Amino acid sequence: MIIQLDSKESDLFIKLVYNLIIVPLVYFSISIISLFSKKLRRSIEVRSGISKTLSKNRINLNPYSVTVLFHCSSMGEYKQILPIVKKLNDSKQTEYNIVLSLYSPSAYEHIDKNNPMFSLITYTPFDFYIETKRFINTINPDIVLISKHDVWPNFLWELKKRSVPVFLINGLFADDTKMDKWYAKFFFRSIFSNLTGIITISEKQKQRFLSVFPYPDKIHVSGDTRYDAVIYEAESSLGIDYFESLAGNDHIFIAGSSWPADEKHIINCWVDLKKKFRNAVLILVPHEIGADHIYKIESMCQEKDLGYLAFTDMTGKEKLNEYDVLIIDKIGLLTKIYRYGKIAYVGGGFSRNGLHSVLEPAVYGLPVVFGPNLDKSPEAQEMNILNCGMIFNDDRELYNIVSSLWSDKKLYEKVSEISSGYIRDHSGATNKILKTIEENTRKNNSEKGNSITEKELEDILNRESNKEKQK
């Protein structure tokens, strides 16, 4: 005999299973694994005082402003929301409290806590019912935007109960996800029903979401804010004083986020390139900057008789153009360094880790080269078709690509223009996302019998928000 559950009963069933079985089991497992994992142990420790810290810092939130809560899992998702945050901060019609919640301790520790674009930056609590309710009570958001994929059931249920609009932006249905499996569809369909809207990066992604959540009126396509994000980063970030002396050198090769498999090809190739382009400088920015790895890179340079200098050894007095290789042994500098390059190598194409961001160098008009593993990078695949992203398989192919670009000025300029044009042509998702949010928030209010103008809606939201915060 099969028991049929209606929508409310199935939602209740999922809530009970999630809170009484899944959450305790997952937390117990994490607690055990954390005994052997410093990263997980850190993730538990930093959340121990969230409530007290939030209550103390809530004074930074203006009770007369609209509070927008952005939730991001890690640094990548954080960078994607920056153009949207900037757009809201630049608004002359409405004042916003911009609150950022982060799940990753690594992301939280590396971002600027004094960034004036944010009123409050906090960790996201574990998805326990009581902790989540306390978190939302303290922040009291008027709207919530979740970046990419990090949806938490109790978080969504509590927001739905309070009629707070919640949008998944830059929505990504990853190829390796289990959401579309028969045993998971039931669960995720229920969870997604608590979202006001899902705003995806492409039509393909929309179709994938529809396979789990078959409600096309709630799924929208905006494009990807990563393109807006790299433009924002290029326009807003400052250069690095140490590297200004390289600005006039037309033969700067940036190898970004390299892995050992990449570095072997790069160093071998660089020996031959230096014979043809004597003023060429390789700026090597490895993905891992541990002392052992940096030592191995330095040893390879010594074996090939290449003069090198590590960033942490720079005093500012060195003539960087006189070195063959500059090794960046400090995190957080790569996107700033790309501005000094003429060609970029993006690492990960020779490993299972997948290719790193090809958009970061492309925004500066750099031709981009990479290894053959492009499965996880549709952008690299598109750039390869456009001939501004080039695949190589061995040292000789890498040499030929770089040599041909540096030997033919017209060819280089053509490829450079295609590269920067690729970024421009895919930008604009920020405005589309904000427009979609505005239209769907207004639509939801209209369906509830509150058919009002945009300005009236904004005024009502402001007044209601102020009343709640003053209670």
Domain boundary among 30, 45, 60: 45
Confidence category of residue 171, pLDDT binned at 50, 70, 90: very high
Whether residue 394 sits in one domain with residue 440: no
**pLDDT above 80 (res 465):** no
Whether residue 448 sits in one domain with residue 388: no
Asked whether residue 231 is domain-assigned, the answer is no
Domain boundary among 410, 425, 440: 425
Whether residue 411 sits in one domain with residue 315: yes
Are 322 and 280 in contact by the 8 Å Cβ rule? The answer is no
pLDDT digits 0-9 by tens, 216-254: 999 999 999 999 999 999 998 888 988 999 988 999 999
Whether residue 163 sits in one domain with residue 123: yes
Whether residue 97 sits in one domain with residue 195: yes
Three-class secondary structure of residue 40 per DSSP: helix
Confidence category of residue 462, pLDDT binned at 50, 70, 90: low
**pLDDT value at residue 460:** 45
**pLDDT above 80 (res 178):** no
Distance CA 411, CA 415 (A): 6
Whether residue 187 sits in one domain with residue 281: no
Whether residue 53 sits in one domain with residue 27: no
Task: Find the domain containing 7 and state its range.
Answer: 1-45
Distance CA 201, CA 148 (A): 9
Domain boundary among 12, 29, 45: 45
Rounded to 10°, the helix 260-276/395-407 angle is 40
pLDDT digits 0-9 by tens, 18-61: 999 999 999 899 899 988 888 888 888 888 878 888 888 888 89
Whether residue 64 sits in one domain with residue 143: yes
Whether residue 446 sits in one domain with residue 361: no
pLDDT digits 0-9 by tens, 421-461: 999 999 999 999 999 999 888 766 655 544 434 454 455 44
Distance CA 89, CA 434 (A): 13
Nearest alpha-carbon partner for 393 in 293, 260, 261: 261
Whether residue 257 sits in one domain with residue 354: yes
pLDDT digits 0-9 by tens, 106-142: 888 888 888 999 999 999 999 999 999 999 999 999 9
Whether residue 36 sits in one domain with residue 91: no
CATH number, domain of 362, equals 3.40.50.2000
Q: What is residue 243's DSSP assignment?
A: G
Domains in the chain, number: 3
Cα-based torsion angle of the residue sequence 351, 356, 359, 362 in order, rounded to the nearest 10 degrees: -60
Whether residue 289 sits in one domain with residue 164: no
Asked whether residue 229 is domain-assigned, the answer is no
